[in-house]
Amino acid sequence: MESKSKSIIALIMGTLSMMVCFMVWLSLSPLVGVILTHNGIELSEFQRTFLLATPILLGSIMRIPMGIWSDKYGGKKVYIVLMLFLIIPVLLIPRVGSFSTMIISALLLGMSGTSFAVGISYVTGFFPPEKQGLVLGIAGVGNIGTAFSSFFFPRIEKAWGLNSVFYLLIVLLVIFALLMMFIAPESQKNENASMGKSLAVAKEKDTWYLALFYFLTFGLFMAMTNLLSMFMVNLFHSSLVDAGLWAAVFAVLGTLTRPIGGYLSDKIRPMTLLKYDFIAITAAAIILGFFLQTQGVFLTIMVVIGVLVGLGNGIIFKMVPFVSDSNTGAVTGFVGAMGGLGGYFPPIILGIIKQATGGYELGIYLIAVFAIICLALLQKVYISGSHKIVK
């Protein structure tokens, strides 16, 4: 293990860099209406939800190779290249003039979501296994960048205009690329890692079970962070600033409870914790479907779901380093990719359901159905069965 000071610096830099990248990742959501008006683009309900979901697609799929490259070349180098690359789509977003070019820009913007696989791979090598539940939970606090986007970007746009938001992101990306270059220590490398060897983790059943569970918890975190502003505007006619505030509250809760989930998993068997988390998510989704049009109940359930998905994310990532010691980045990439895709599909499905039925309720009930499926598999494989990941 590395020295304590290097470990702390690595944890701080890995977390803050992820935070900046997540600010970029969710920069469309709180400002989509303003951006479309600014660029002179008119979209249908489905096109708008598809646009919001697009950054999540590449940010999910590319977590697999980015996690592998972080194992092979070191997370520091990969982080620097990533942040410099993100300047390109950040420059493009407020300047493109058609739906097709907007989709391409949003797709490239999605590379910011790969920072999760890079950050987790980077931080893991600096801490022993018995501390990784809490440590990886802390590293995951970088997700709070989504809250900053939701809370601050509508206010910045209102005060100084749309371009100022994206100029701020460029400044932050340059600053943190330089800090990573000159301050952050390099993590341990697995120079023998290759795409073929790393993809061997796909043969592990545990990789796929954790990926499925993370599809639910992180997917729900991303989907609701992404859609909450739209819900508030469409259902309750809230202003963009107020809607952004509640999206930020949700993202903060889902982020800050993540290390709590990791810490509890260091003390209590993770699968037992996850069982009760899935039960609570199921109940919350059903209640939300019934009272979707009632603002007080809607906001209360959003707070509850924010806490539950944050705990679930921390619990699941406690187990990731135990699947394959030498390929943590690869497992992180697989599990993280599935979690990201869990945030990709709900906006699209909800957009289709809204156009077809005039409401979102059916889509909300589908979340409960999926949570029940995850709960059943968890019970069968890890609780009733003899198989264990973490003893």
Q: What are the tens digits of pLDDT across the range 99-112?
A: 899 999 999 999 99
Rounded average pLDDT over 285-293: 94
Rank 127-136, 176-185, 327-336 by mean pLDDT and report only the highest: 176-185
Collect all residues with Cβ–Cβ distance below 8 Å to 25 and sequence separation of at least 6. 55, 56, 59, 109, 110, 112, 113, 115, 145, 146, 149
Model confidence at 187: pLDDT above 80: no
pTM of the complete model? 0.80
Model confidence at 193: pLDDT above 70: no
**Cα of 357 vs its chain's centroid, Å:** 29
Rounded average pLDDT over 189-218: 79
Model confidence at 385: pLDDT above 80: no
Confidence band for 31, pLDDT divided at 50, 70 and 90 = confident
If DSSP codes are grouped into helix, strand and coil, which group holds residue 2?
A: coil
Rounded average pLDDT over 10-18: 93
Confidence band for 233, pLDDT divided at 50, 70 and 90 = confident
Whole-number average pLDDT of the chain = 86
Model confidence at 191: pLDDT above 90: no
**HSE-CB of 46 using CA atoms within 13 angstroms:** 7
Rounded average pLDDT over 281-293: 95
Question: Which 8-state DSSP code applies to residue 382?
Answer: I
The reported pLDDT for the residue numbered 323 is 67
The answer to which of 80-84, 168-172, 238-242, 276-280 has the lowest mean pLDDT is 238-242
The secondary structure of 316-370 as a DSSP string is: HHHHHHHH-GGGHHHHHHHHHHHHHHHHHHHHHHHHHHHHHHSSSHHHHHHHHHH
What's the burial of 314, exposed, middle or buried (CB within 10 Å: 0-12/13-18/19+)? buried
The answer to which of 18-27, 64-73, 88-97, 196-205 has the lowest mean pLDDT is 196-205
Assigned CATH topology for domain 4-383: Growth Hormone; Chain: A; (1.20.1250)
The reported pLDDT for the residue numbered 365 is 94
Model confidence at 94: pLDDT above 50: yes
The secondary structure of 182-237 as a DSSP string is: HTSPPPP--TT--HHHHGGGGG-HHHHHHHHHHHHHHHHHHHHHHHHHHHHHHHH-
Percent of the chain at pLDDT exceeding 90: 39
Collect all residues with Cβ–Cβ distance below 8 Å to 157 and sequence separation of at least 6. 31, 34, 164, 165
Percent of the chain at pLDDT exceeding 70: 91
Rounded average pLDDT over 339-364: 85
The answer to which of 16-20, 35-39, 66-70 has the lowest mean pLDDT is 66-70
The reported pLDDT for the residue numbered 1 is 45
Rounded average pLDDT over 248-260: 90
Q: Write down the domain spans for the chain.
A: 4-383
The reported pLDDT for the residue numbered 308 is 97
Question: Which 8-state DSSP code applies to residue 112?
Answer: G
Rounded average pLDDT over 36-59: 85
Model confidence at 132: pLDDT above 70: no
Model confidence at 206: pLDDT above 50: yes
Model confidence at 376: pLDDT above 80: yes
Confidence band for 138, pLDDT divided at 50, 70 and 90 = confident
Residue in this structure with the two tokens 């043969």, named with its chain if needed? 203
Model confidence at 174: pLDDT above 90: yes
pLDDT digits (tens, 9 = 90+) for 50-60: 888 888 888 88
